[in-house]
Amino acid sequence: MSLDTSAPQRAHLKKSLTLLPVVMIGLAYMQPMTLFDTFGIVSGLTSGHVATAYAFALIAILFTAISYGKLVRRFPSAGSAYTYAQKAISPHVGFMVGWSSLLDYLFMPMINILLAKNYFEALVPGIPSWIFVVLLVAFMTMSNLRGIKTVANFNSVIVVLQVVVMIGITGMVIYGVAHGEGAGTLTSSQPFWSADAHVVPMITGATILCFSFLGFDGISSLSEETKDAERTIPRAIFLTALIGGLIFIVASYFLQLYFPDISRFKDPDSSQPEIMLYVAGHVLQFGILIFSVVTVLASGMAAHAGVSRLMYVMGRDGVFPERFFGYIHPKWRTPSLNVLLVGAVALMAIRFDLVTATALVNFGALVAFTFVNLSVIAQFWIREKRNRTLRDHINYLVLPVLGALTVGALWINLEESSMVLGLIWAAVGIVYLAFVTRSFRNPVPQYSEEV
């Protein structure tokens, strides 16, 4: 593979995606089966009201999804939150948002490979886990090298299979409840509200579950590879969040009827294996664990695609070395060098700590969510002065403020390690920005071509 810098015309990302593949990539990134991993934690925290916590989380996420949709129409760039903050607020703020978002995107593929490694270790403990890591990273990287359509097709199949598996598990849960398990009835308000319900623990549970929605925002980085992106991407972002949220709420409702409390769980913090054991039995538990490897791989592939596009836009702008980060392979029409770099980072799953990686992801995601909402206010309500009618005030002030406030609740509940590591990363970014701008005497580089 050569850089072919003598080519007379810059290669561009290929527009090949439509609405359905984009939604499928978003749902694969979200990985709906993550519900089973967090169920025990949130059920204990909310005293058996996981469904309500998911409803609160969905409402919070939809506000931010609406803000993403507005900005995608205005700036249909692969840069996502980085581009929005850069154009709407300032290039300096945009760089810091992009730099912080790298924490979310860059470590997500590695986190998924870490989860897959853990599943493999449980299935075949006698084989060195680094072999699985290398094989999975190689598959994920090669798929992304060949083009976003390859990733979309793979993710579409996996999402459909995930939904089928979840329907099957939910069917077994319904059968169990109908035959006396748990609450013993299929119609009950208890998963949503009961005498033991308290709003504050539910909101705290919602802050945990909001991170189950990570991925709805990542598809905004596919704008330059999507046909009619100004219409398709906003719809895809909203649909991804809405469909994912409805899946979470419906499945958790029936699951809460089967497990009204956490008394049956030996380890509520890792509830998926026990849920599968009680609901499906030993044989199906083994099969579902194998399938879980495939689902986290699909999520990792979607995250891999997103971060390679973000780094491409930052390279194209010149804030990262353009020769490397802004390169597009002339045949595959993908940011191939970025794809290889992300694959190399994912190999750190051989030794990296899952807790630390997750802490980094949470900080980056909240930075992106916060500034997307603020960018709507800055761009439309202030810069474009869409503040004359009641509709303008609702669309460009009230809704993004509500989005920012709901994200603010997540900031309050952010783990201390996430904040510390995130601030260290931000400090490194400020030092790098000072270097690029010669102690802030020069402007932040930006791509000269019209978006």
pLDDT exceeds 70 at position 4: no
Query: Which of 22-26, 56-60, 402-406, 411-415 has the lowest average pLDDT?
Result: 411-415
| pLDDT computed for residue 449 by the predictor | 47
In this structure, of 24-28, 100-104, 143-147, 319-323, the range with the lowest mean pLDDT score is 100-104
- The C-alpha atoms of residue 22 and residue 18 are separated, in whole angstroms, by 6
% residues pLDDT > 70 (the chain)? 94
Q: With 60 as the cut, is the pLDDT of residue 448 above it?
A: no
In the predicted structure, residue 63 carries a pLDDT above the cut 60? yes
pLDDT digits (tens, 9 = 90+) for 23-44: 988 888 788 888 887 888 888 8
Residue 176: exposure state from Cβ atoms within 10 A (0-12, 13-18, ≥19): middle
DSSP SS3 for 119: helix
Residue 450 has pLDDT above 60, yes or no: no
Q: Cα separation of 344 and 276, whole Å?
A: 33
Which residues have C-beta within 8 Å of that of residue 67, sequence separation ≥ 6? 372, 373, 375, 376, 399, 400, 403
More confident residue, 440 or 289: 440
SS3 226: strand
The mean pLDDT of the chain is 85
Q: Work out the pLDDT band at 416, boundaries 50, 70, 90.
A: confident
pLDDT of residue 447: 61
Which range (53-57, 98-102, 342-346, 413-417) has the least confidence?
Answer: 413-417
Q: What is the pLDDT of residues 302-353, one digit of tens each?
A: 889 888 988 988 898 888 998 999 898 888 888 999 999 999 999 998 887 7
Q: Is the pLDDT of residue 360 over 80?
A: no
DSSP states along 364-407: HHHHHHHHHHHHHIIIIIIIS---SSHHHHIIIIIHHHHHHHHH
Question: Would you place residue 107 in the very low, low, confident or very high pLDDT band (cuts 50, 70, 90)?
Answer: confident
Strand partners, 17: 226
Backbone φ, ψ for residue 17 (5° rounding):
-95, 145
**Of 60, 81, 70, 123, residue with least CA distance to 287:** 123
Structure confidence at residue 245 (pLDDT): 93
Distance from the Cα of residue 226 to its chain's centroid: 19
- The residue whose two tokens read 């802050």 is 207
- pLDDT-derived band at 2 (thresholds 50, 70, 90) equals very low
Q: Which of 31-40, 130-139, 353-362 has the lowest mean pLDDT?
A: 353-362
In the numeric block, which tokens belong to residue 81? 């939150």
pLDDT at 146 over 80: yes
The packing angle between helices 50-74 and 34-46, to 10°, is 120
Tokens (6 digits) for 349:
């799953």
pLDDT, average across residues 431-441: 91
Range with the largest mean pLDDT of 168-182, 267-281, 386-400: 386-400
